[in-house]
Amino acid sequence: MASPRELPRYVLFAGLPGLLLAMFIIAYPLWRVLALSVADVSRFGKVRGFVGLENYTNILTDYEFLACVVRSLVWTAGVVGGTIFISIPVAIILARDFYGRGLARVIVMLPWAVSLTMMAIIWRWILNGEFGMLNHSLRGLGALDNNVVWLAEAATAFPLQIMIGVLVSVPFATTILLGGLSSVPDDLYEAAAIEGASDWRQHLTLTLPLLRPFIKIAIVLNVIYVFNSFPIIWVTTQGGPGNGTDILVTYLYKLAFRFGKMGDAAVVSLAMFILLMGLTWLYVKLTTKNEPAQA
């Protein structure tokens, strides 16, 4: 493959307009948020003056912000980790040739086709403490004597929200992994079977290493998507009870549109951007550290 120095000059300059446009799309909103973060801004967006680092001090000394940072990391790790853990075996099963495979794939992909907000509304109904389907089913099985108000306490609400996040994220990750599995030659599995390797051994020694680039893509994309995900938390609990399920994106929304603290919200927005970029960079760095250099 030719190096950039060996490419014709017109090829290098052909992509310059697209690069400049992408930089503008990213840089301009970032600059505006940075300007708002050092200003006194009314709830209607009017800049009333320069306040320096006052907004940063307000946020960094706010216990709720620090709690939301921790909760956002737990939320992201729980949803992304659970999604990948479930998606790998699901993708392996759906890659096999069996009767009804097409229908099975459609069923797995259905949650992806439904609006995330609508899925959150459905789950809020399911988890309703008085007439929800979950309580009704558990009472019918004899597992519960009385109804449980699942969303009334953060100790039960937050793990259930993570579970919902996993369920709605599995189709996307499964699609990526199915694409990876379709590129794996069947000859490798046939040779491994001839050598006496069991199905478990084949997946451990062949499937997982060959899927590693696709798993990396699924993790990075899901981290970005889940970290900024708003509907599940907001629709089910609005960050309650007592802000016990707030993550950074719902905390940001409350600051900006419920309390009218636009400057503080801009600081949180910058913190989210930096934190997300740091997480993505750290993951890519760790996963490429021990990979051999390509010739």
Q: Is the pLDDT of residue 180 over 80?
A: yes
CB atoms within 10 A of CB 197: 16
CB atoms within 10 A of CB 88: 21
Q: How far apart are CA 28 and CA 272, in angstroms?
A: 17
- Helices and strands (H, E) in the chain, number of each type: 14, 2
8-40 confidence digits (pLDDT tens): 555 556 667 776 777 778 788 888 888 888 888
Q: Give the mean model confidence (pLDDT) for residues 182-200.
A: 73
Q: What is the pLDDT of residue 235?
A: 94
Q: How far apart are CA 295 and CA 289, in angstroms?
A: 16
Q: What is the pLDDT of residue 73?
A: 94
Q: How far apart are CA 48 and CA 53, in angstroms?
A: 15
Q: How far apart are CA 160 and CA 275, in angstroms?
A: 25
pTM of the entire predicted model:
0.86
Cβ proximity of 69 and 63 under 8 Å: no
Q: How far apart are CA 95 and CA 105, in angstroms?
A: 9
